[in-house]
Structure 1
Amino acid sequence: MFEYFWTAGSVMKSKSHHQLLSIVAQITVGIILVMRTYALYGSSRRVLAFMLCFAIVVFGFGAWSVGSVKLLPQPSADSYPPIGCANSLSTEMAHRLGYAWTGILAFDAMILVLTIWKGCETYRLSSCSGKRRQGLVPTLVRDGVVYFLVVAVANCANIISYMVAGPYLRGVGSTLTTVLTTVMGCRLMLNIRDPKLIAIRSGTTMIKTRTSDIDDTPITTVFP
């Protein structure tokens, strides 16, 4: 509401606040995705190093894209009154911001590929051993795919708006993309707290154990 209807104060300050909030949200969810994938690969330092290098490149590219926008020529005077953040963007400015969101999409795609790869590996192992294909790894794969599909659709629409939309519609989906990213990131963490993932059922009795083996992934559980 503040973003679109606030009339007092500086428009540029409200835009800076919005950009800062989006950056903080994306970094927080990015850390969650890295932690999940790091755990999925059994705390592999090689995988962690790869993800961190990829994240640093994406963050640096995004920082350059956002920071260089202020150095570009500003668009001509707006024909509409400045209300909230609804001021126009020049084509060059919109493209730079679109590049930043493209980097985020590439990062999400990298996490998805790593997650599916591990899921396929676990599926092959469980097929050979005859174990049930339920537990932590399938949950991580399922949630990772759902997260990517939802966020990718919103992000692609946002990127398209930066690239081809009119001056006042460029980046119109950035707020929705940030909100969906936050909501889906919370869902990723809440789903792995399901008690069914850390307990073994024997008939109708729940057997509590300190360590359970779910799809070849050791899960250490502490019960009060």
Structure 2
Amino acid sequence: MLPWSAICLACLSISCLPFQMSCSRYMLIRELSLFLQQIIVSFTLTLRVYALYGRSKRLLSCMIIIALALIGGASAGSFGGHSNTTPYIQGSDCHNTFSAKTAARHGLAWVAVSVYDLLIFVLTVFRTYKTRGFPRLTSYSRDILDIIFHGGAMYFAAMTLINLPNILTYYCGSDITRANLATFTSCMSVTLISRLVLNLHKSTDDGILSTAIRANGRTLDVFTTLDMQSALSSHDF
């Protein structure tokens, strides 16, 4: 006959299966959500640079290729070894823990985000420098180029300060601290990019809802558009 300890352990393992499966699904959906949020943020930053460079198709193609390469590497790291996580304990919170090897693969996604943010910042600085010389953070005006540069610089600085500790938790953290800052980092990036876009609308026009159109005796607010090419037409590129 099997000892009672072995029988209890087997029963506990069977009872933990539904909990472990539900937690695995939850963590997978969570990671997919974070992944999608960062893709949307990167897409918004790409649109800003695309407009800043006068809708250059060549630049856009290069940025898309780089973005796809980074997304491919991040996807392989985040979802290729998703099943290699530490088992869950019934009765505890649905919290995912990683081994050092698995955490290193998952951290590649945030490294890719930092690399793409750096690319966006370098392109923004280069365009500003080519247009009017070396940009200065101390001078600020309502010119659209200054607004884009200052907004991009503040976004890059803030995200670097936030994302760097997040990346360090994947590669230098303990079993408890690994990936604990991922949700906070993603939320902050979404908040900062939203502020970036809203500030651009506010600074270059009366606001997002600023153009009124009358239809059937009613006044309707519609989204205004920003013509970057005409706004920068006074500069020699």
Q: Secondary structure at the match of 2:69?
A: helix
Report the CA distance between 1:21 and its aligned residue.
Answer: 1.1
From 45, 54, 70, the counterpart of 1:42 = 54
CA contact 2:110–2:163 (8 Å) conserved in 1: yes
Aligned residue pairs, count: 193
Query: Is 1:83 the equivalent of 2:90?
Result: no
1:33 is aligned to 45
Report the CA distance between 1:135 and its aligned residue.
Answer: 0.7
From 188, 201, 204, the counterpart of 1:197 = 204
Q: Which runs of no fewer than 5 residues in structure 2 stay unpaired?
A: 1-18, 207-225
From 155, 161, 166, the counterpart of 1:153 = 161
Report the CA distance between 1:70 and its aligned residue.
Answer: 2.5
Between structure 1 and structure 2, the one with the greater Rg is: 2
1:120 is aligned to 129
Q: Secondary structure at the match of 1:192?
A: helix
* Percent identity between the two aligned chains: 23
TM-score, length of structure 2 as denominator length = 0.73
2:212 is aligned to none
Taking the TM superposition and a 5 Å limit, the aligned residue runs for 1:1-224 are 10-70=22-82, 72=84, 74-75=85-86, 81-84=91-94, 86-124=95-133, 134-194=142-202, 196-198=203-205, 214-216=231-233
CA contact 1:29–1:182 (8 Å) conserved in 2: yes
The letter for the 2-side match of 1:187 is R
> Counterparts of 2:227 and 2:28 in 1: how far apart (Å)?
48
Q: Which runs of no fewer than 5 residues in structure 1 stay unpaired?
A: 1-6, 127-131, 200-209, 219-224
CA contact 2:128–2:134 (8 Å) conserved in 1: no
2:8 is aligned to none
Change beyond 3 A, Cα 1:66–1:216: same
CA contact 1:87–1:168 (8 Å) conserved in 2: no
4+ runs of 1 displaced by more than 4 Å? 77-81, 210-215
Change beyond 3 A, Cα 1:81–1:166: farther
TM-score, length of structure 1 as denominator length = 0.76
Report the CA distance between 1:69 and its aligned residue.
Answer: 2.0
